[in-house]
Every structure is written in C-alpha cells, then in structure tokens.
A and B are shown apart, each in its own frame.
Chain A
Amino acid sequence: MTSFEDPLAQALREVPTKGQRPIELIERRARTIRHRRRAALAGVALAAAGAVAVPSFGTLAGETVRDIRPVGPTNTTSAPTCASWTGEQQGDFRTLADVPDQMRLLWTQSAPQPTEANMVDFSNAEEIVTDRTPENCEVPEGTDTVDEHAGVWLFNVEDNVVTRVVSVSGPNPKAPQAYDGRRVIETEAGPLELSAMRYDRRQAVWPAEGTAGYWVSWIHGEMSDAELIELAESVTLANGRVDVANWSGANDRTVILQASDLKPDPDGDLTSFNLTGGPVSLWAWEGPFSGVAHWDDVDVGDQLVDINGRPGVLRTGPSGRLRWVTSDGVLVQLEYVGRDGQENLLAIARSVQPVPADDERLNAIWQDEPPADAGD
C-alpha cells in the first residue's frame, strides 16, 4: 500500500491549513532576498574561511559558475551534501549620503508614505559561501541550453499595447529539447521543428545554414506557418548579430531590440536602491542602462506609457509593474501589490524624483543595516 492509499495518510492530508499566500508577496520577498543576500548570517564568514573556490566544469553562456567546496574534515554521517555549492555575492548596506544622487528617488504623490528605504552596494562584492548546513544547502542555478539574452527580440505593438513577442537567437550549438505537440515544417532552410511551450508560447528550431548550429525562436502571440517559414528563410547573421530585417513580420509597428541591450543583470546582483510604502515599492538599479533596458521581460498585453517624456512599460494584473530608464541611465521599477489603487501607479511613477541626502522623509526611514530577519 502506498501512502496515498493509506487511510492515515488520507486523513493527514485533510488536516486544514491556511490558504495560499498571494504570489505577489512571495515575489517581493524573493526580490528582497536576492538583493540583500548577505551579511545577516554571522556564520557565513566562518564558512567562507573554511572553503576554497574551484572553477566549475559547467559554464552558462559566458557566465562562470563556481563550485565552492568545504575543505578540511568532511562529515561522514549520512547527512546529504550539496551537489553544487554556489557562491554568493555579498553586498554592503550604504548610508543615505552614499547613495548616488540619481538613485536617491522618492515619489511625491500623496499616496502611500514610504516606510522602508535602503541601498545594497555590490560594487565591491566578494563571492562567499551561503551556508554549509544541509538544511540550507543551496541548489544550482538552471542550465538552459538557450541563452534568452542573446540574439534579437521583436515586439509587435498595436495602439500602444504589445500584441506579439518573438525572440530569435543563434546559432546555438545544440538544438533544445522539443516541448509538447511537436510538428515539423519543411522550409528551404531545412526542417523546422515547432512545439508548444507552456502558457501559449511556442518554440521553433531550425538549422542555421552554413553552421552546425540551430536557430531558436520563441513566439508568444499569433503567428501563421507562412510567417514562420518566411522567418526561418530570411534570418541571417550579420557582423555577429542576428538580422531579421528581411522578414515581413518586422514591420513599422515592430520594436526590434538586441537582447544584449535588454539584459539588466549581466553579472549577478546589482547595486540597488529600494523604497517601500504599503503596497508600493520602488527599485532603482545603478546603470548606466541603455534607454531600452526597460523592455526586458516585456510580454503580450503590456502597455507602452509615457513617464515625463521617458518611455515606460506598464503591466497590470494581480500586481502592477511599471519600468522605465531615467535620463540618468537608472533602471527603475515601481510595483503595486493588489488591484485596489493600482490605477494610481502611473501617477506615482510620474511623481518620482531624485531628492537630496538630507530629505527628511528618507532620513526617517533609512536602514544602514539589514533588518534582523533578512537573513538568507
């Protein structure tokens, strides 16, 4: 009898529990963890002292992943060990005066008063070990074969709303695994393998002519087979860049961006300024960022908006999100948890301005140290 057929197991699975916590709160906490991962655990430094960094055999598209293995006597009990001890970046909390002027932002909209503000500086970050106990054993990062931050992204826009997102990357040395509903379409470029990814997305893979590699395209939104075949037959590599200029799908209502201009987090943790007040939170990442970096992660249904002359992208839903790049090259993300009051997000964004280091509101809530419960 498996435990699922067991009356005791069935009874235990009926023990009442609380409902699911809103995912927006999980996301917010995850972001905080990522950007405050660090210093709260005193034991971390001890662990780092007893560890040696060795280069990993596994690398991800130019990013070096390091395995950190403890030295000295090893635990010989049956307790589990980590398959990969991933290094962490340790950032330092800064004083308000240390925050660069262009990142010391505050909204002046009368809505939620900020109650928490801090900045974590990763400019002098050193790799450390997170924890050596099996309970906290960190898991390895993903090892996808396709680097979604290479190649080109095409965003079709109708009435300021994104209607289709297409990425084309390659040549990739390996063809990624097909998803469900695999179908092969013959093209002049060779057999094109189409499969259905989750959430209405599709993956297309076809040989990259003159190479041993493959083009990979991810599609969200409507695209006919004829359009897809034309894409496969027209994409080229020009001066090391993916060129889709000859594809009719790239029309005058299409925003075409190099993925390398979008990627906001090329080297792990970025120095960030954070401001939180009730359901609203603001993240500012030190740049300089390209003027299109706010397009990273744009999806079908997102709206293009204007924030005091700067282009922004607004996403609404259970939580709202608005991103833009300031004239100083700072990438800003304003978030609103919950639907009530979310319509004010754009007005709040338009009121965001740099403030001086002696600003009373900021000084009243500034944190130079990580909160006691921020340990990771």
Chain B
Amino acid sequence: MHDEFADWYGALWPRVLRAVTISVGDQDLAEEATAEAFARALARWPGPAKLHSPAAWLHRVAVNEVRTRWRRSRLEHRVVEQLGAQTQHHSPAPEPRDDALWSAVAALPDRARQMVALRYVLDLPEAEIATMLGVTRGTVASTLSKARQQLNSVLAESRPEPAPTVVREEMS
C-alpha cells in the first residue's frame, strides 16, 4: 500500500499543488492545504485512487481546507476587534511576484481563478467544472473566456517580439 500511495503522491503532487496555488493565490497556504488533502487521501486509501478524477478531488479538499482556515482567521479577526485590540489582517493576499502572468492570475476574481486552475492545469472539461462548482456550463464558459482575454494579453506582452523577416531580393 505504501509504495502505491508513494507513486500516486509523486505523480499528482506537482499538478495539484499548482492548481491549488492558482486557485488560492498564496503559495504557502496552498502547500499546506495540498499536503492536508493528500494526508486525507492516505487516511482513506485506496478509495481516492479509484475516483474518476483524483486530482480534482484533491484540489477540492485543499481549496475547502483553505476556506476553513480563512473562516477561522476571519473569526479570530472579529474577536480581536471586539476586544478593542489592534487588528491584524489575516486574509492571504496574492503573493507578489515579478511574473506578469502570475500577477494577472492573482488579480482574477476568486471563482475565475478556480476555473482557470481546473481547466488549464487539471485539464477538466467545462461540464465537470460546472458540476464541481455548482454553476451552469455557460457560466464556466463565459468566465473562462473573460479570464483568457485578460491572461492572453499579458502572455502576448511578455512574449519576445518576433524577429523581422528579411526578404532577400534575388539579384538578377
């Protein structure tokens, strides 16, 4: 069992972590939550390996874990406010990065980031994303379309300019 899980873990970790990182916009939190999701999978092993899309399940558990932590931190925040103490902002802000694409992803609304992660990192079809997130397929399609426009423009800007084509005139 150990070896099989180890293999599964090694194969899925990078993809799931990347999707969770994009979804939640915080690298440290994503890593913590992804590790928690894999631990829960192991606690239920071998059930998760038999799922239709284990990566999608892991992503869902991890994102839910992040939400739970946010809720908890917001609650702490409220209690501190009630006590009149100096408040601290616990909600994780997207990580500052030099990478333009990452910045653009981080600037997307929460739901759009999740859809982007599920579609372009986990390669889930739109219909499945719609079911997972409890929205219509049209909502997924339109959200992804808007997100693509924003991200593609960043991507195009960051691409190197194509080299000018040299037309060599044939000497007659």
Residues of chain A having any CB pair with chain B under 8 Å: 2-4, 6-9, 11-13, 15, 17-18, 20-21, 23, 25-27, 29-31, 33-34, 37, 77-80, 133-136, 138-142, 198-199, 375-376
CB neighbours of B130 from chain A (8 A): 78
Q: A17-B30, A80-B132 are in contact. Are A198 and B43 (CB under 8 A)?
A: no
A26–B35 touching, CB < 8 Å: yes
A12–B21 touching, CB < 8 Å: no
Closest to B50 in A: A142
Is B3 an interface position by the 8 A CB rule?
A: yes
Q: Which of B46, B134, B148 contacts A142 (CB 8 A)?
A: B46
Q: A18-B27, A30-B40 are in contact. Are A13 and B121 (CB under 8 A)?
A: yes
- Interface members, chain B 141-155 (any A CB < 8 Å): 148, 151-152, 155
B120–A3 touching, CB < 8 Å: yes
List of 10 A-B pairs having minimum Cβ-Cβ separation, nearest first: A30-B42, A29-B39, A135-B64, A9-B120, A139-B47, A142-B46, A33-B43, A79-B134, A30-B43, A30-B39
Q: A15-B101, A136-B61, A376-B40 are in contact. Are A20 and B120 (CB under 8 A)?
A: no
Residues of chain B having any CB pair with chain A under 8 Å: 2-7, 9-10, 13-15, 17-18, 21-22, 27-28, 30-31, 35-36, 38-48, 50-51, 57, 60-61, 63-64, 68, 99, 101-102, 105, 116-117, 119-121, 123, 130-132, 134-136, 148, 151-152, 155
- Measured between alpha carbons, how far is A33 from B41 in the docked complex, in Å? 10
CB neighbours of A26 from chain B (8 A): 9, 35, 38-39, 42
CB neighbours of A142 from chain B (8 A): 45-47, 50
Closest to B30 in A: A17
Apart from A15-B18, A198-B4, A375-B68: 10 A-B pairs, beta carbons within 8 A = A3-B119, A12-B22, A21-B13, A25-B35, A30-B40, A133-B64, A139-B44, A139-B48, A142-B50, A376-B43
CB neighbours of B117 from chain A (8 A): 12
- Measured between alpha carbons, how far is A78 from B136 in the docked complex, in Å? 8
Q: A17-B18, A20-B13 are in contact. Are A135 and B50 (CB under 8 A)?
A: no
- Measured between alpha carbons, how far is A91 from B77 in the docked complex, in Å? 31
- Measured between alpha carbons, how far is A9 from B151 in the docked complex, in Å? 10
A18–B31 touching, CB < 8 Å: yes
B6–A23 touching, CB < 8 Å: yes
- Measured between alpha carbons, how far is A12 from B102 in the docked complex, in Å? 8
Q: A3-B123, A12-B22, A18-B31 are in contact. Are A27 and B47 (CB under 8 A)?
A: no
Ordered by A's residue number, 25 sampled pairs between the chains whose C-beta atoms are within 8 Å are A3-B120, A7-B155, A8-B152, A11-B101, A15-B21, A17-B31, A18-B30, A18-B31, A20-B13, A21-B38, A26-B35, A26-B38, A26-B39, A26-B42, A27-B39, A30-B45, A33-B40, A33-B43, A138-B44, A139-B47, A140-B50, A141-B47, A198-B3, A375-B68, A376-B43
Tell me the smallest distance from the CB of B47 to a CB of chain A, in Å: 4
- Measured between alpha carbons, how far is A138 from B40 in the docked complex, in Å? 10
Tell me the smallest distance from the CB of B30 to a CB of chain A, in Å: 7
Closest to A75 in B: B134
**Which among A12, A27, A78 has the greatest number of chain B C-beta atoms within 10 A?**
A12
B10–A20 touching, CB < 8 Å: yes
Tell me the smallest distance from the CB of B127 to a CB of chain A, in Å: 10
- Measured between alpha carbons, how far is A20 from B10 in the docked complex, in Å? 8
A17–B21 touching, CB < 8 Å: yes
B57–A139 touching, CB < 8 Å: yes
A23–B9 touching, CB < 8 Å: yes
CB neighbours of B68 from chain A (8 A): 375
B35–A11 touching, CB < 8 Å: no
